[in-house]
């Protein structure tokens, strides 16, 4: 009986100590993590509008300055970010949709009538590194730049394989080899963005 | 306790290598080895986690009640892995993003628990720390070798730097998991032949 009590007591005390250690490390680091995440998000926004390139190395000050200068935040039912790209208004918003392993959070910029996708980035996902994880790569995302968004409720921008997708009028982009499920998930994410989130975006803007 | 520090270290690198001899940590060997950068970070992460978990478990080994020792081990391992995750998120956000869920999965890497059970339970803290670190290094070396082959043939690059000419056709199979099975199998076969002969 004494042994059992000791075990319980020991496990309890040790858990308490380690939890306290973790909690304090987390509290110390959470500020830095939040700043990182915010900067990351702001850079993503600048990228989807096409103000910076994916692989541009920007200091945090540059990001903040450019962000403050170019982007207007509108808060409502959904958060909308507005910017002027080549004299036209462009709206950016986030959309969440299931991926292969977890939720993919995409950031999408479209023109005012929702017929052109200006840019796309994935701010959070847990796809397989090297396979589905390649949705982070410039080559994949670049295909979406200025791609026409078709009117239909599904396959707004089809992610296909083995087809010629070079035209930006055909609403088709090339899928990732070895990541079929992730490619399908991206197509669904864009459908969801246009069918469910975009109408709310328009409500916020008008 | 006759083992010297050097012997302990070398044992895990070669004679008792966690991947090729003990066949532990295979799942992560398949998952992260399609590019060398991720593999290296994973290796460093695992080395850190194994080293410090072994140290802590060994230091506490006389006080840990036998019937809850596994729970305690997992608790200690998980603590270090979460610390690692937080540090990566705060200071190396791009790498943390690239590794995604794999950092958390170090907790379930059987090498750590294996070293804790097989070594840290019965040896002093310093030796256990060396044992943990060397198990991590042995694991990383094999994974880097696999990643080298896979990244070279699958992407034509090493650590993301292009080394093969543009005209080289990447072997798609090298990017996908099956190639890791073949490579790991071949490595185990080649490496163990001299080891088996000696016996």
Residue B13 lies in a domain: no
Q: Does the residue B5 lie in any domain? A: no
pLDDT band at A96 (very low <50, low <70, confident <90, very high): very high
Per residue in B162-185, pLDDT (tens digit) is 888 888 888 877 877 788 888 988
Cβ of A18 within 8 Å of Cβ of B76? The answer is yes
B176 touches chain A (CB under 8 A): yes
Closest CA to A132 of A174, A187, A183: A183
Residue B78: give the domain boundaries: 18-198
CB of B89 within 8 Å of a chain A CB? The answer is yes
The verdict on residue A116 lying in a domain is: yes
Q: How confident is the model at residue B154 (pLDDT cuts 50, 70, 90)?
A: confident
Q: Which helix (H) or strand (E) holds A173?
A: strand A172-174
Asked, for residue B154, whether it belongs to a domain, the answer is yes
Mean pLDDT score across all residues of chain B: 84
Q: Is residue A80 part of a domain?
A: yes
Contacts of A129 in chain B (CB under 8 A): 31-32, 34-35, 38, 98-100, 102
Residue B1 pLDDT class (50, 70, 90 cuts): very low
The pLDDT tens digits for B42-78 are: 888 889 999 999 999 999 888 888 888 888 888 999 9
DSSP percent split of chain B into helix, strand, coil, nearest 5: 75, 0, 25
Burial of B194 (0-12, 13-18, 19+ CB in 10 A): exposed
Q: Which domain holds residue A117?
A: 74-205
Identify whether A139 is part of a domain.
yes
Question: In whole angstroms, how far apart are CA B16 and each of A17, A55, A89, A164?
Answer: 34, 42, 63, 52
Q: What is the predicted ipTM?
A: 0.71
State how many domains chain B has: 1
Q: Does A21 lie at the interface with B, CB-CB under 8 angstroms?
A: yes
CB contact under 8 A, A25 and B83: yes
Interchain CB distance below 8 Å, B172 and A101:
no
Q: Domain for residue A95, yes or no?
A: yes
Nearest CA in chain A to B151: A130
Residue from B70, B19, B10 nearest B46 by CA: B19
pLDDT, mean of residues B105-118: 83
In this structure, the number of other CB atoms found within 10 A of the CB of residue A145 comes to: 16
Q: Tell me which chain A residue has its CA closest to the CA of residue B39.
A: A129
Number of compact structural domains in chain A = 1
Of A148-152, B23-27, B142-146, B149-153, give the lowest mean pLDDT range: B23-27
**Percentage with pLDDT > 70 across chain A:** 100
Indicate whether B2 pLDDT > 60.
Answer: no
B64 belongs to a structural domain: yes
Closest-CA distance of chain B to residue A11, Å: 7
The verdict on residue B7 lying in a domain is no
């Amino acid at each position: 009986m004494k042994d059992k009590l000791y075990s319980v007591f020991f496990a309890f005390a040790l858990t308490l100590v380690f939890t306290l250690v973790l909690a304090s490390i987390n509290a110390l680091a959470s500020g830095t993590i939040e700043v990182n995440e915010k900067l990351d998000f702001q850079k993503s926004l600048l990228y989807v509008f096409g103000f910076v390139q994916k692989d541009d190395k920007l200091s945090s000050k540059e990001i903040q300055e450019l962000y403050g200068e170019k982007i207007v935040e509108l808060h409502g039912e959904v958060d909308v970010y507005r910017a002027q790209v080549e004299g036209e208004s462009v709206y950016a918003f986030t959309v969440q949709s299931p991926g292969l392993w977890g939720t993919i959070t995409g950031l999408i910029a479209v023109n005012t009538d929702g017929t052109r996708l200006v840019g796309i980035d994935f701010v959070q996902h847990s796809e397989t590194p090297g396979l589905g994880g390649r949705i982070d790569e410039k080559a994949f995302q670049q295909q979406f730049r200025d791609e026409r968004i078709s009117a239909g409720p599904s396959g707004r921008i089809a992610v296909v394989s083995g087809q010629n997708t070079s035209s930006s009028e055909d609403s088709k982009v090339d899928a990732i080899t070895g990541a079929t499920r992730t490619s399908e998930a991206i197509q669904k994410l864009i459908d969801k963005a246009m069918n469910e989130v975009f109408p709310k975006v328009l409500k916020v803007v008008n | 306790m006759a083992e010297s520090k050097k012997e302990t270290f070398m044992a895990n690198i070669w004679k008792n290598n966690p991947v090729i001899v003990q066949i532990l940590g295979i799942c992560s060997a398949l998952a992260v080895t399609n590019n060398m950068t991720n593999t290296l970070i994973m290796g460093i992460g695992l080395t850190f986690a194994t080293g410090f978990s072994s140290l802590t478990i060994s230091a506490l080994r006389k006080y840990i009640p036998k019937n809850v020792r596994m729970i305690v081990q997992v608790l200690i391992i998980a603590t270090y892995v979460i610390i690692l995750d937080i540090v990566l998120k705060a200071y190396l956000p791009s790498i943390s993003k690239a590794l995604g869920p794999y950092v958390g999965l170090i907790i379930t890497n059987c090498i750590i628990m294996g070293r804790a059970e097989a070594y840290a339970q019965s040896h002093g803290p310093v030796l256990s720390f060396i044992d943990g670190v060397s198990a991590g290094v042995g694991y990383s070396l094999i994974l880097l070798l696999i990643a080298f082959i896979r990244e070279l043939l699958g992407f034509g690059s090493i650590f993301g730097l292009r080394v093969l000419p543009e005209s080289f056709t990447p072997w798609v199979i090298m990017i996908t998991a099956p190639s890791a099975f073949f490579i790991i199998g071949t490595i185990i076969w080649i490496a163990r032949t001299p080891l088996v002969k000696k016996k």
